[in-house]
Structure 1
């Protein structure tokens, strides 16, 4: 039987402690991927179980139909599997009320509905169409350009949010709160600048109204969520007694730190473990530099070393040592946080990385490197440079990314970089020999990615070039082994 009603469940999976149909939708989520379903939707499910309210979610897949085709026949129900060394448990989530697939008109209608009080987003940085250098809409982005041509019939994130807010303003409806849940520094301010900047390009009064009346709280999210597989669906069947084509798997750990700014109200997310604070930035830096930074380092290094999963990386003693080194170096760049011990946090991260039940692909983590490295690697490296701290862990991560950027394994097999700037990288490297110094110089000088303070620092440049030369001359495994002994 296909999972479609709570009464269908016959296994040990737990179910919501509320009747889903009794609660209306108050949230529209853009970017209906596995992470949202393992994180924000789970916490919304917990909030509904504990405190009720019309806070169910209308989930929107902006481009693909696959997730929606899996969820729609199941009335939005799906199983979340939590894996650890002791085994697997399951919970069926009922928080998703409706799903929309690649339908801009239906999406705009949902956003404009007066019942929508919060819009949450997980679309990845490239999905916004915002130029990080300026904080404004990217004029080279095709979707942004098309939406500016037809602002009343948008299909992109900035266009949809702006058009919906314009409709609500014209009707006298209160604006929704916009809550970015992507791993981006100061993500609320990032999205606010993008939306206000988009509106200002064709309606200055609307832009001023958005700036004055729409809340864009920042948030920090954390939960490792591998891509679902046939094994995921097999486990879901065992735990529910139903076929579940939308099942996902994740780890027991989850974290959500949110700036508490919701003029139109919010779900009781604290019942799912969310932490509400006045300033998210310090927590965000901790996660980006420690967890995400170590993730990027081990992803490039592990992938090149032939380790398909994070758990395989952590089974390699030399790589485990380098992960620990990176975490320690990143922690030294952080301001103290109340009730947070960075050494304890680092130990928790290593335990999470080791989880044998989570098949988190290094290749998956490696994607979109040019979008991730600035905040994960270069920001702490800049702090280390300014404060006389050790640069080598960050230089090592950068050198491994540069080796990954060559797009070929040591055995000669080609792979897709899966990076929005892959063409620029290829152009920068075109015609260069396998020389660490020249490759490093090209990526420092031709890509406008690495901050000037680093790119113009002789010690940083020499360290990156030397490590990259070692990788190209002696191989990834030998470089890892030598680095771990330092």
Structure 2
């Protein structure tokens, strides 16, 4: 009979499933985290669980927070199982399950007053975020905070009732300043270059619209450490729930499945203190930028590289894409010839070895990561994961054939059908606009490059434009497989 996950049932968990070495009564809140999704529960929450199991820093338990409708559903599901999560780590030859419990509360989304009051609590020393690359109100083409975004303008007009993560954080910092409480550290855990600086720009940029003195306070007194995070964590579906029930006998409404590998590189800038993360595998460095650069370009850029051809070829899982010889060869050729050569050295890392690791991780048949997840939110991901490498190579006068093929594949994907005619469901906030531009690009490729909020001035570069046009024409006339073959064979 299945065991329904709860604090009361922890003592009955089947053999072989790890449970916390601590009780809920051992914990007290020290962190408010916005964005309690799968990645957070497979990453930051795991490091805290490991630390709490060592008997350390149990005053840094997590209080969840959020602003989206999905946050309300997550709160409901997790509250129903006392904020416990089953995490299943999967490698080709093994799977293991553990129950984690570093979260002790989840603030009601939509209740700004309750969230602000919790942020003002002196016990809260860190506010962390996993809100995806698209959640920072950044102009995709420039990477600069956009103060004119309607959601930011709404928070600026009503700062006492904020509806964005940054409005809530700013209101919490203001309350602490007004009460004489030192500011908490704000720690982004999203895949954005310079994620600490980006977060500072969002919080202080909003403050600029409300109170310049508050903006000055934020810039002078609030710590925003940069960090690089890494763990492949697919979305939870009934597939994962059924595997958990079948293989481990546990009923969890929202389990997390992930790979065995995880990494966190972080700048040590926490004025009010922090958990001893270094004791559980976090690497602290003076400058995260080289590690961020490597991971975002090679791993996230690699995901984008395989995602769109796989979608156009009707491939469902990431490991299935890696089993396709054309897609695997496309990834290797692009990474080794165009992406890795423009990545600066990373202390203690051989980039060729790092790519070999990434290739093995993408090939993991047990993880169940989907191509649809990798294709999500391309309008925010392309400018962060692919186009920076393109710009660097153009600046160096180097060829960009493979990188522009990735952009052309994305354009073809945005048309909304695969090569077989299968309908591709929209999965981008700008899906309608992207589809219109992609369809127009069938007769004039410039229609897609005219999306300057994404491409910036790249469309004006004759080398990029010519290469993009060639790749897109090939995709339209010959299809994805033949175009990949041409690129791999040096004929594109």
Which residue does 2:59 correspond to in 1?
54
Q: Structure 1 residue 72 and structure 2 residue 79: aligned?
A: yes
> For 1:18, which of 18, 22, 27 is the aligned residue?
22
How many angstroms does 1:165 deviate by?
Answer: 0.4
Q: Counterpart of 1:179 in 2: which secondary structure?
A: strand
Q: How does 1:115-134 map to 2 (within 5 A)?
A: 115-131=123-139, 133=142
CA deviation profile, 1:6-45 (whole Å, cap 9, x unmatched): 3232231112232232110100000111111111111111
Question: 2: CA distance between counterparts of 1:185 and 1:248?
Answer: 26
Which residue does 2:93 correspond to in 1?
86
> Are the counterparts in 1 of residues 136 and 145 from structure 2 also a CA contact under 8 Å?
no
Q: Structure 1 residue 261 and structure 2 residue 269: aligned?
A: yes
Bigger shift: residues 120-129 or 237-246: 237-246
Q: Counterpart of 1:201 in 2: which secondary structure?
A: helix
> For 1:397, which of 390, 403, 406 is the aligned residue?
406
Question: 1: CA distance between counterparts of 2:306 and 2:446?
Answer: 23
Q: How does 1:87-486 map to 2 (within 5 A)?
A: 87-103=94-110, 104-131=112-139, 133=142, 135-141=144-150, 143-237=151-245, 241-328=249-336, 329-429=338-438, 432=440, 434-435=442-443, 438=444, 440-452=445-457, 454-486=458-490
Question: 2: CA distance between counterparts of 1:144 and 1:90?
Answer: 41
Q: Size of the alignment, in residue pairs?
A: 480
How many angstroms does 1:433 deviate by?
Answer: 7.0
Which residue does 2:12 correspond to in 1?
8
Bigger shift: residues 7-16 or 360-369: 7-16
CA deviation profile, 1:403-449 (whole Å, cap 9, x unmatched): 1121122233333332222233244356x3734xx1x2111124442
CA pair 167-26 structure 1, distance change in 2 beyond 3 A: same
Q: Counterpart of 2:88 in 1: which secondary structure?
A: strand
> Are the counterparts in 2 of residues 128 and 156 from structure 1 also a CA contact under 8 Å?
no
Bigger shift: residues 250-259 or 63-72: 63-72
Question: 1: CA distance between counterparts of 2:263 and 2:451?
Answer: 38
> Are the counterparts in 2 of residues 233 and 244 from structure 1 also a CA contact under 8 Å?
yes
How many angstroms does 1:463 deviate by?
Answer: 1.4
CA deviation profile, 1:49-92 (whole Å, cap 9, x unmatched): 22233011011232122211221021111110011111210111
Question: 1: CA distance between counterparts of 2:46 and 2:371?
Answer: 25
CA pair 98-417 structure 1, distance change in 2 beyond 3 A: same
Q: Counterpart of 2:107 in 1: which secondary structure?
A: strand
Question: 1: CA distance between counterparts of 2:213 and 2:57?
Answer: 37
TM-score (norm 1): 0.94
How many angstroms does 1:484 deviate by?
Answer: 2.3
> Are the counterparts in 2 of residues 121 and 179 from structure 1 also a CA contact under 8 Å?
yes
Bigger shift: residues 285-294 or 476-485: 476-485
CA pair 428-475 structure 1, distance change in 2 beyond 3 A: closer
Which residue does 1:31 correspond to in 2?
35
Q: Counterpart of 1:449 in 2: which secondary structure?
A: helix
CA pair 292-134 structure 1, distance change in 2 beyond 3 A: closer
How many angstroms does 1:164 deviate by?
Answer: 0.5
CA deviation profile, 1:244-283 (whole Å, cap 9, x unmatched): 1121100001111111100011112223321111111111
> Are the counterparts in 1 of residues 326 and 481 from structure 2 also a CA contact under 8 Å?
no
> Are the counterparts in 1 of residues 313 and 420 from structure 2 also a CA contact under 8 Å?
no
Q: Counterpart of 1:88 in 2: which secondary structure?
A: strand
TM-score (norm 2): 0.93
Q: Counterpart of 1:403 in 2: which secondary structure?
A: helix
Q: Superposition RMSD on alpha carbons, in Å? A: 1.8
Q: Counterpart of 2:404 in 1: which secondary structure?
A: helix
CA pair 129-451 structure 1, distance change in 2 beyond 3 A: closer
Question: 2: CA distance between counterparts of 1:215 and 1:289?
Answer: 26
Question: 1: CA distance between counterparts of 2:406 and 2:353?
Answer: 23
Question: 1: CA distance between counterparts of 2:295 and 2:399?
Answer: 19
> Are the counterparts in 2 of residues 378 and 451 from structure 1 also a CA contact under 8 Å?
no
Q: Counterpart of 2:242 in 1: which secondary structure?
A: helix
Q: Counterpart of 1:307 in 2: which secondary structure?
A: coil
Bigger shift: residues 421-430 or 303-312: 421-430
Bigger shift: residues 233-242 or 333-342: 233-242
